[in-house]
Amino acid sequence: MNIPAGTIPTAKADKKIKINSELKTEFFRRYFRVVHGLFAVLILIQFLPDQLQTETYIFYVIWFAVGVEILTLILSAVIKKTASLNLFTDIVGFIYGLLIAWTLATAKFNLLKAALFPPPGKVFRQFINDYDKILVNIQSSVGIILQGYLLALIIAIPLGLFLGWNARLGSSATYISKFLGAIPPIVYIPYGIALLPTFKSVSVFVIFLATFWPVLSGTMSGVMNVEKKTIDSAKVLNVGKFTMLFSVILPASLQQIFIGCNQGLTVSFVLLTSAEMIGAQSGLGYYIKNYSDFGDYTRTIVGLIVVGIVIVIISFIFNSIQKYLLRWKQ
């Protein structure tokens, strides 16, 4: 009896130490990351002597980096999943790395043509100064995309369900959609310009078409591929036609509908920014084109970054919606 009585406290103490050290490694894993080292490097190099004649606005970079760093630390405490945290710090690390290279190549060593490659501080400053203008342009571009895109979804999905359902019952609607969908939407632009009064309405029209065909054919092939047993299961419940289409066929084809939606979104963005560069008086494509025409490459870079951010945000929203609506899939 003596032996176990003696060993228990030791075992307990051992366990305590183990838990303690586990906590410590967990703490290290969360807060001691390469990304923070990159942050330190980024801050330090800002204080190297400038090689450029013009102002480099290092404090804009510093404030930006400090803001991102604080956010990273907060999220390090908040995010539970290691995988998500890793992804986030990887992205931040990439941004820091890019800023380090950018700072060194421009402000500090002047390796690139100064007129074409402004230092990062200048770009950040321009971003803040142009904030209002940028917002208006985002609104203009995103507004056009949303209008054309949503209009296309509202029409293409029900139509695709209806045509797909009838095609399943043996008609040849698929071929019509395949043929019309094969025409690249950009060729409709001249026709649209002749037909519609403003640049905006032409843009909405083109985005509508760019989205309409992939969504229509995605929906139709989704419907054609719904398993017979799913349809039989619904039939024996004696569902009405409307319920069959919208409560059974629609969710059953959702994955393929999303493929069409995704394709439409990508094409819409490319088309709109290109179109804005050609003929618009507003929008992100216009912003970029306009300032690069005037040789204002600081603003051109601001525009590029904004386009990137907008696309990332929209894809994120799109993916979240898709993930939510398909949450029942394994």
DSSP letters, 135-187, are HHHHHHHHHHHHHHHHHHHHHHHHHHHHHHHHHHTT--HHHHHHHHHHS-GGG
- Burial string for 303-329 (b: 16+ CB within 10 Å, else e) reads beebbeebeeebeeeeeeebeeeeeee
Closer by beta carbon to another protein, 233 or else 319:
233
Instruction: Give least dist CB 167 to another protein, A.
Output: 20
Closer by beta carbon to another protein, 132 or else 227:
227
Closest by CA to 50, choosing from 124, 127, 125, 121, is 121
Q: Which residue from 254, 259, 275, 284 is in contact with another protein, where contact means CB under 8 A?
A: 254
Closer by beta carbon to another protein, 121 or else 222:
222
Asked if residue 241 binds another protein (CB under 8 A), the reply is no
Asked if residue 259 binds another protein (CB under 8 A), the reply is no
Asked if residue 229 binds another protein (CB under 8 A), the reply is yes
Number of residues binding to another protein, judged by CB under 8 A: 20
Closer by beta carbon to another protein, 20 or else 330:
330
Asked if residue 210 binds another protein (CB under 8 A), the reply is no
- 212 CB-contact burial (10 Å; exposed 0-12 / middle 13-18 / buried 19+): buried
Instruction: Give least dist CB 79 to another protein, A.
Output: 25
Closer by beta carbon to another protein, 54 or else 243:
243
Asked if residue 236 binds another protein (CB under 8 A), the reply is yes
Interface stretch with another protein, choices 3-11, 57-65, 242-250, 316-324 (CB under 8 A): 242-250
Asked if residue 249 binds another protein (CB under 8 A), the reply is no
Closest by CA to 156, choosing from 38, 54, 253, is 253
Cβ-proximal residues to 198 (8 Å cutoff; 6+ apart), any chain: none
Q: Looking at residues 261 to 290 of the shown chain, list those that interact with another protein (rule: CB under 8 A).
A: none
Closer by beta carbon to another protein, 61 or else 248:
248
Asked if residue 194 binds another protein (CB under 8 A), the reply is no
Closest by CA to 206, choosing from 273, 154, 272, is 272
Asked if residue 143 binds another protein (CB under 8 A), the reply is no
Alpha helices in the chain (DSSP H): 2-31, 34-46, 58-78, 82-103, 120-129, 131-168, 173-182, 188-195, 199-224, 228-235, 241-243, 250-279, 284-293, 297-325
Closer by beta carbon to another protein, 47 or else 246:
246
Q: Which helix (H) or strand (E) holds 198?
A: none
Asked if residue 235 binds another protein (CB under 8 A), the reply is yes
Asked if residue 252 binds another protein (CB under 8 A), the reply is yes
Distance (Å, whole) CA 325 – CA 319? 10
Closer by beta carbon to another protein, 20 or else 238:
238
Asked if residue 170 binds another protein (CB under 8 A), the reply is no
Binding site for another protein (CB under 8 A): 229-230, 232-239, 243, 247-248, 251-252, 254, 327-330
